[in-house]
A and B are shown apart, each in its own frame.
Chain A
Amino acid sequence: ETGVTQSPTHLIKTRGQQVTLRCSSQSGHNTVSWYQQALGQGPQFIFQYYREEENGRGNFPPRFSGLQFPNYSSELNVNALELDDSALYLCASSLGGRASSGNTIYFGEGSWLTVV
Chain B
Amino acid sequence: DQQVKQNSPSLSVQEGRISILNCDYTNSMFDYFLWYKKYPAEGPTFLISISSIKDKNEDGRFTVFLNKSAKHLSLHIVPSQPGDSAVYFCAAKSNAGNMLTFGGGTRLMVKP
Which A residues are within 8 Å of any B CB, using their own CB?
Answer: 2, 4, 33, 35, 40-45, 48, 50, 55-56, 58, 90, 92, 97-103, 105-110
CA distance A55 to B101 in the complex (A): 16
From the candidates B41, B93, B104, name the one contacting A99 in the complex (CB within 8 A). B93
Chain A residues whose CB sits within 8 angstroms of the CB of B6 once the complex forms: 42
Q: Contact mask B87-111 → A, CB, 8 Å, 1/0? A: 0010101010111111111000000
Which B residues are within 8 Å of any A CB, using their own CB?
Answer: 4, 6, 32, 34, 36, 41-46, 48-49, 89, 91, 93, 95, 97-105
Residue of A42, A56, A98, A99 with most chain B CB atoms under a 10 A cut-off: A42
CA distance A98 to B42 in the complex (A): 24
CA distance A99 to B102 in the complex (A): 13
Q: Is the pair B98, A55 in contact by a Cβ cutoff of 8 Å?
A: yes
A-B contact pairs, 25 of them (CB 8 A): A2-B45, A42-B89, A42-B102, A42-B103, A42-B104, A43-B89, A44-B102, A45-B99, A45-B101, A50-B98, A56-B97, A90-B43, A92-B100, A98-B95, A98-B98, A99-B32, A99-B98, A99-B99, A100-B32, A103-B49, A105-B34, A105-B46, A106-B46, A107-B44, A107-B45
From the candidates B44, B46, B48, B103, name the one contacting A90 in the complex (CB within 8 A). B44
Counted as pairs of residues, one from A and one from B, with CB atoms less than 8 Å apart, the total is 70
7 interchain residue pairs of minimum CB distance: A42-B102, A107-B43, A102-B49, A102-B34, A45-B99, A56-B98, A98-B98
Chain A residues whose CB sits within 8 angstroms of the CB of B49 once the complex forms: 101-103
A7 CB to nearest chain B CB (Å):
13
Q: Is the pair A108, B43 in contact by a Cβ cutoff of 8 Å?
A: yes
A35 CB to nearest chain B CB (Å):
8
Q: Is the pair B104, A40 in contact by a Cβ cutoff of 8 Å?
A: yes
Chain B residues whose CB sits within 8 angstroms of the CB of A100 once the complex forms: 32
Q: Looking across the interface, which residue of chain B has its beta carbon closest to that of A112?
A: B41
Chain B residues whose CB sits within 8 angstroms of the CB of A33 once the complex forms: 98-100
Chain B residues whose CB sits within 8 angstroms of the CB of A108 once the complex forms: 43
B21 CB to nearest chain A CB (Å):
13
